[in-house]
Chain A
Amino acid sequence: MTWTWFHRLASPPYVYALAARLTPWFAWPAALLIVGGLWGGLVLAPPDYQQGDGFRIIYVHAPSAWMSLMVYTTMAVAAAVGLIWRIKVAHAVAASCAPIGASFTFAALVTGALWGEPMWGTYWEWDPRLTSELILLFLYLGYMGLRAGIEDTQRADRASALLAVVGVVNVPIIHYSVTWWNSLHQAPSVMRLSRPAMPSSMLLPLLMMLLGFTLYFVAVLLVRLRSEVLARERSASWIREAVSA
């Protein structure tokens, strides 16, 4: 097995150019999937037999919650790679993830509150799922605050990477919180071992939204990654090419 692809992915000029080339390939399918998912979720899917049209919040809540966890996991893995192999590009990926993940964690909490009020009778409860998701938001904010507080990028990379890696224990806690503890929050209805607990007219738009948000994340990440890679380069001559292009 050859590792050249790995080494190339650690090279800033290569990554900068590759990220620019790949962005539209993720952005356009993401846009189509999200528009299709919105149409399917808001118009085509039938109302829920218990929750009526209130259940349609799932089409924005579940993708936001999925983003909050998936982006954090990506950030922690990239941070670990950066720490272990001392790869600048990996640190740049981790740093790019944080604002995206933080904003979708915020969206997951707000949409969850808006779903909780009509269904549970409360916007907020100190429930295991809700509390661990709020801790995730604080982890993201702590990560960003730590980075902002350290002037030297290399030191900021290492310190924040450590926080990201340690904080990853919260991810399985959030996911399994509804199984481990008594929670107001419902148990997983899509990401479970048996078949999803939904008819396909409800499920398909949800899957489109989940995939659409994932591709959208990659597209936004690629734009942010170029910015982080550029900020880390001090003396490389390719910068001239990069900024003149």
Chain B
Amino acid sequence: MRAFLDMGGYAAFVWPAYLVTLTVVVLNIVWARRALSRSRADARRRLDRRGGEP
């Protein structure tokens, strides 16, 4: 386990690279879902403003 974490002396480069990429992967999921719920809320507001008549 120790050797694995050490990455043959390259730990300071390998792990940050994985961390950055996986952060981008997770953030894209969060951002996309947030954008969708924002668009849904906006659409709902537009419907309400028209008194339910689209």
Which chain A residues lie closer than 8 Å to B25 at the CB level?
A: 34, 216
Q: How far is the CB of A62 from chain B (nearest CB, A)?
A: 11
Nearest residue in A to B20 (C-beta to C-beta)? A110
Number of A-B contacts (CB under 8 A): 106
Instruction: Choose among B14, B18, B21 the residue with the greatest number of A CB atoms under 10 Å from its CB.
Output: B21
Task: Please tell me the number of chain A residues within 8 Å of chain B, measured between CB atoms.
Answer: 43
Q: Contact residue range for chain B?
A: 20 to 34
Can you list the 6 inter-chain pairs with the closest CB atoms, starting with the nearest?
A53-B8, A60-B21, A54-B10, A227-B39, A223-B32, A52-B8
Residue pairs across A and B with Cβ atoms less than 8 A apart, 17 shown, are A34-B25, A53-B7, A53-B14, A54-B7, A54-B13, A56-B10, A61-B21, A63-B21, A110-B20, A118-B13, A220-B28, A230-B36, A231-B43, A240-B47, A242-B40, A243-B40, A243-B44
Q: Which residues of B contact A (CB under 8 A)?
A: 4, 7-10, 13-14, 16-18, 20-22, 24-25, 27-29, 31-33, 35-36, 38-40, 42-44, 46-47, 54
